Amino acid sequence: MPPFCAVRVAKVSKMAAADRDRPDQLARCSMMDSMNASSPAQAPAEPSLRNRDQIAERFKWNLSNIFSDWDAWHAAYADLDQSIAAFAALQGTLAQGGDRLLAALKLRDDIGQLEYKVWYYASLWYDQDQRDNQINAKRQQVQILFAKAAQAAAWFDPELLKITKDSPKTTILISGSEKAEGHVTAEQVRRSVLARLGSVSVQTVYDILSALTAAGLVRCLETPGHPARFETRVGDNHHHFICRACGKTIDIDCATGETPCLTPKALPSGFMADEAEVTYWGTCSDCLDGTAVVGVSS
């Protein structure tokens, strides 16, 4: 026990012997000892920040993998600006044929990839030294261009959704198999588009299929353990049979011929069922006789 505390305890002991009606003195001393013992140690000093030139090269990103220098960045920025204007000029052309739609999709892909590079080159440069106002100005320049791009592309989805199901758009996007009314995956659709266009991103395919599904032009079939499939047969409340072995999917007509096909026995008051989606699981005839091809859908 530290000397100053031992003296204090001795004094308290004398007081307790002289006047036993005041035991609180000893309690206060014990509390003070506890507080002294638990007082926090002095916090260590904050480490000094290093300049970037003091950091080993292996810990730094190499921005030359994006652009070789700022001249290349400026050239890409100019290309992006021109591409945005070119995309805006495509408004009103989607219904003119599949080639027009594919050209729009390809240009939108190119713009997206260029946006990514132009933004991150300037943004990562700024992160290296956020005191550099000139680099920050370039970041803001890109942000302004992004706003321009969003405005230039605002027409695309509404125009896409106005095209009827029988247009070349749906034929291209859904003909991932030889039979357009089959059940095709997004990857099958992408391969079909690649055969005509030569380049298209998976994200673009999903975006368009999602838009078509929301518009009711195609139907998305999602089942556990299988990739989502898309079909052009919509509006008749039909059902599906899926083979557990090979994944083959076929249409099954509505059991009653009208929606909702199945009526639940009990619904809460105020509820109304307008559709029933039924999936039958089993084994197809090809799997039963050993001639099935995995992943085939009809």
More confident residue, 114 or 7: 114
Last residue of some domain: 163, 184, 210? 163
Instruction: Report whether 263 contacts 215 (CB < 8 A).
Output: no
Answer yes or no: do 94 and 15 share one domain.
no
- Say yes or no: 78 and 141 in one domain: yes
User: Is residue 229 in some structural domain?
Assistant: no
**How deeply is 264 buried, as exposed, middle or buried, from its count of CB atoms within 10 A (0-12, 13-18, 19+)?**
exposed
User: Residue 231 is encoded by which pair of tokens?
Assistant: 């079909």
Give CA separation, 93 vs 97, 170, 267, in Å.
8, 15, 48
Is residue 263 situated within a structural domain? yes
Give the position of tokens 């805006």.
88
Inside any domain, residue 285 = yes
Chain segment 171-211, per-residue pLDDT in tens? 555 554 334 347 888 888 888 777 776 667 777 788 778 87
Q: Give the pLDDT confidence score for residue 273 in this predicted structure.
A: 77
What is the structure's pLDDT at 186? Answer: 85
Do the domain assignments include residue 42? no
Do residues 181 and 159 both lie within one domain? no
- Of 163, 182, 201, the residue that ends a domain is 163
Say what the pLDDT of residue 16 is: 43
Count of the separate structural domains present in the chain: 4
The C-alpha atoms of residue 149 and residue 79 are separated, in whole angstroms, by 13
* Residue 37 within any structural domain of the chain: no
Give the mean pLDDT of the chain: 77
pLDDT of the residue at 47: 73
Residues 74 and 134 in one domain: yes
Q: Which residue has the higher pLDDT, 275 or 72?
A: 72
Both 194 and 283 in a single domain? no
Q: How confident is the model at residue 235 (pLDDT cuts 50, 70, 90)?
A: confident
Q: Of 117, 145, 163, which marks where a domain is finished?
A: 163
3-state secondary structure of 140: helix
pLDDT band at 115; cut points 50, 70, 90: very high
On whether both 141 and 76 belong to a single domain, the answer is yes
Residue 19 belongs to a domain: yes
Please give the residue range of the domain that contains residue 255.
235-298
